[in-house]
């Protein structure tokens, strides 16, 4: 019996996987630039208005149109609600209570709901090597979490609130992730679908922001404008199509390993720009995350 290379190690998967991981590793720091003068609901709205318009322009440049049937628009609306509204509203709220590094660590638990939902709704098997690699990586995440909790300057209630909000956002993101692996998603071209979902997500965000925070508020501060453009164009319009392509190639469980490496990158950036100090516990945790990633992504399946 011959052994075929796993799809997770093809360059067509590894390259977008690496790009997405590097981009999203930086977003936790950049999100700070959107918090403060502008209510978070409006900041999320502006982010996905920029992203949705960019995706629409890209769709038209490819010679495509957003021509969805009623079921397709319904799918786009649900995706917009979970992936581009609930996910980010809760994540932004989490960053108001705890450090960006801790939020990144908690969000890395996306691996678990992605794997479980993938098993329940997509009938994807959870291989022994994937489970073992997941256990090793989550052990590393736990060590990073313990270290962050020890050095968090906020009180226990603030930390608990931030963690809870981030977990809710993580579950919402997982719903959006798993939707990309369904047959319903594969019926429609990916780029027009993402454009529609982002634009609908922006509309939902705007309605939510208006009810929660009142009329639109905007800032012309250079840091805010740059953060909004980066998060809209690079972290959303560029990264999400790449990430969804990875999901369709290797499934939501393995694709979620981008969120396992993200906290390591986020903490490295925090070291450079926020004075984050590494301790033996955090270094051990980062090492375990990388080992777990290697174990899970090098799983091989026998050819039939």
Q: Is the pLDDT reported for residue 5 higher than 50?
A: no
Q: What are the tens digits of pLDDT across the range 126-150?
A: 778 878 887 888 888 888 778 777 7
Instruction: Please indicate whether residue 294 or residue 62 has the higher confidence score (pLDDT).
Output: 62
Q: Tell me which of 5-14, 82-91, 218-227 is least confident.
A: 5-14
Task: Report how far residue 286's alpha carbon sits from residue 270's, in angstroms, rounded to the nearest whole number.
Answer: 14
- The pTM assigned to this predicted structure is 0.84
Share of the chain above pLDDT 90, in %: 43
Q: What are the tens digits of pLDDT across the range 179-237?
A: 988 888 889 999 999 999 999 999 999 999 999 999 999 999 999 999 999 999 999 99
What is the rounded average pLDDT for all residues in the chain?
86
Q: Is the pLDDT reported for residue 98 higher than 90?
A: no
Share of the chain above pLDDT 70, in %: 93
Task: Report how far residue 219's alpha carbon sits from residue 263's, in angstroms, rounded to the nearest whole number.
Answer: 29
Q: For residue 4, what pLDDT is reported?
A: 44
Q: For residue 174, what pLDDT is reported?
A: 93
Cβ atoms 291, 144 nearer than 8 A = no
Angle, in degrees to the nearest 10, between helices 40-61 and 190-213: 160
Q: Is the pLDDT reported for residue 38 higher than 90?
A: yes
Q: Is the pLDDT reported for residue 302 higher than 60?
A: no
């Amino acid at each position: 019996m011959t052994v075929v290379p796993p799809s997770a190690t093809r360059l067509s998967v590894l390259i977008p996987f690496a790009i997405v991981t590097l981009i999203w590793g930086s977003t936790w720091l950049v999100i700070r630039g959107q918090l403060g003068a502008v209510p978070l609901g409006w900041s999320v709205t502006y982010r996905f208005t920029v992203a949705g318009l960019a995706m629409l322009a890209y769709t038209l440049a490819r010679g495509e149109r957003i021509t969805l049937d009623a079921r397709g628009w319904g799918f786009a609306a649900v995706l917009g609600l979970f992936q581009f509204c609930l996910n980010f509203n809760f994540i932004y709220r989490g960053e108001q209570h705890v450090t960006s590094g801790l939020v990144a660590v908690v969000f890395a638990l996306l691996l678990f709901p992605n794997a479980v939902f993938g098993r329940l709704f997509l009938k994807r098997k959870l291989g022994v090597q994937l489970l073992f690699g997941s256990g090793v990586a989550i052990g590393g995440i736990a060590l990073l979490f313990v270290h962050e909790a020890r050095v968090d300057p906020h009180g226990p209630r603030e930390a608990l609130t931030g963690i809870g909000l981030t977990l809710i956002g993580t579950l919402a993101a997982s719903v959006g992730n798993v939707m990309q692996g369904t047959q319903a998603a594969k019926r429609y071209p990916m780029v027009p679908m993402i454009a529609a979902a982002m634009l609908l997500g922006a509309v939902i965000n705007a309605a939510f922001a208006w009810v929660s925070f009142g009329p639109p508020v905007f800032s012309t501060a250079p840091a805010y404008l740059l953060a909004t453009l980066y998060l809209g164009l690079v972290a959303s319009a560029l990264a999400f199509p790449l990430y969804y392509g990875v999901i369709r190639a290797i499934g939501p469980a393995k694709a979620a390993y981008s969120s396992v490496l993200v906290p390591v990158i986020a903490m490295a950036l925090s070291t450079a720009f926020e004075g984050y100090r590494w301790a033996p516990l955090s270094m051990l945790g980062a090492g375990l995350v990388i080992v777990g990633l290697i174990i899970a992504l090098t799983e091989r399946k026998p050819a039939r």
